[in-house]
Amino acid sequence: MSKKTPLEAIKINVDGESYEILLKREDLNVTGSHKIRGIYEQVLAHIDDGRRNFVISSSGNSAIAGAYVVDRLNQTTTQRPINLDIFISPRISSAKLSKLRNYVNPAHTTVHIEAKTISHAHMFATEHGSTLLRGSTDKYATKGYENIAVEIYDEFPYKKYGEIPALFIPVSSGTTTVGIYDGFAKIHIEYREFRIPALHIVQTTRVYTIAESIDPEFDRAVGATKTSIVDSIVDKVAHRKKEVLAAVVATGGRGWVMDDRAVSEVRNMIRQEDLDEIISSGEHLSTSHEGALAIAGFVRAVRTAKNPERLNGSVILMTGGI
């Protein structure tokens, strides 16, 4: 149900030096974000287990993907309907809410606007015997993201760069990171000469639960903030923390905690660049705050690296969303 997305090169200027990065354009995926990959495989797996009623709490993008998936599956199923209850915060952006409502089929999907989305979703699922689609704890949640690794492996221009030097990923729960690592690990088992790229995880000064332990320059006492413009990075519990850290350490990556100033700097940088001649898909690059967060992590990595030229050709996961 998701689609293969392009890997496109752009050049950015960091302190007077030009670097080429490759954007994994998940913003061009169905529903506009990478979440469609995980949600689709997650729902299918639970359907195979005999489940038909689902609940999800979301800051927006997972809810949008869930509504789309359930609507499409109900169009093709010959069995009893698949139902979805979505819990979102009243603080959801108007753009996300509008997009969500475009995909909601009220015959099978109900939207609940609640201040405490996670706890209310848990209670609802328990009371109604529904399956909670929580990426951070569901054993099926990572599977769909393995294909991101496969596509990067297939599309990367090895003749130009040699190995894939690094992959920068904006991280909330870490579910996507675990899935991508698993995908690369399976490739490595089949092709032993393939080196898994260094996985760099990027979080915000509001949500830094995973990255702070591998970002020695971040001190929560002086750097933590109560808000962030990257409103899709929300998981402060981080059930997958050990899995994510193990993947980062195993690949020689790092964690980066970025503030709003750094994210805004990247968004301004991309607005000022003339990318129309660079983007081969012909699709305009509209960088979400989450995508800009990942690029900000790359910029900081370049500024702190002893040999920054080795980061040329790094892949940035443009997760999409609004």
Q: Are strands 7-14 and 17-25 parallel, antiparallel or unpaired?
A: antiparallel
pLDDT band with cut points at 50, 70 and 90 for residue 267: confident
Instruction: Give pLDDT, residue 320.
Output: 86
Q: Is the pLDDT of residue 46 over 50?
A: yes
Enter the pTM of the model: 0.94
3-state secondary structure of 45: helix
Instruction: Give pLDDT, residue 283.
Output: 53
Q: Is the pLDDT of residue 138 over 80?
A: yes
Ramachandran quadrant class, 173 (left: phi over 0; alpha: psi -120 to 50; beta: rest):
alpha
pLDDT band with cut points at 50, 70 and 90 for residue 277: very low
Q: Are strands 53-58 and 83-88 parallel, antiparallel or unpaired?
A: parallel
Are the beta carbons of 314 and 166 closer than 8 angstroms? yes
pLDDT mean across residues, the chain: 93
CA dihedral (24, 27, 29, 35) positive or negative? positive
Q: Is the pLDDT of residue 287 over 90?
A: no
The structural domains of the chain, ordered by start, are 7-33+142-318 (3.40.50.1100), 35-132 (3.40.50.1100)
Instruction: Give pLDDT, residue 185.
Output: 98
Q: Is the pLDDT of residue 242 over 90?
A: yes
Q: Is the pLDDT of residue 282 over 80?
A: no
Q: Is the pLDDT of residue 276 over 90?
A: no
Instruction: Give pLDDT, residue 51.
Output: 97
pLDDT in tens, 90-111: 989 898 999 999 999 999 999 9
Q: Phi then psi for 140, rounded to 5 degrees?
A: -90, -5
Rounded to whole angstroms, how far apart are CA atoms 285 and 270? Answer: 9
More confident residue, 278 or 115: 115
Which amino acid type is present at position 288? S
Instruction: Give pLDDT, residue 286.
Output: 59
Query: What are the CA-CA distances from residue 233 to residues 42, 117, 136, 139 (Å)?
Result: 20, 15, 13, 21
Region 41-55: mean pLDDT is: 97
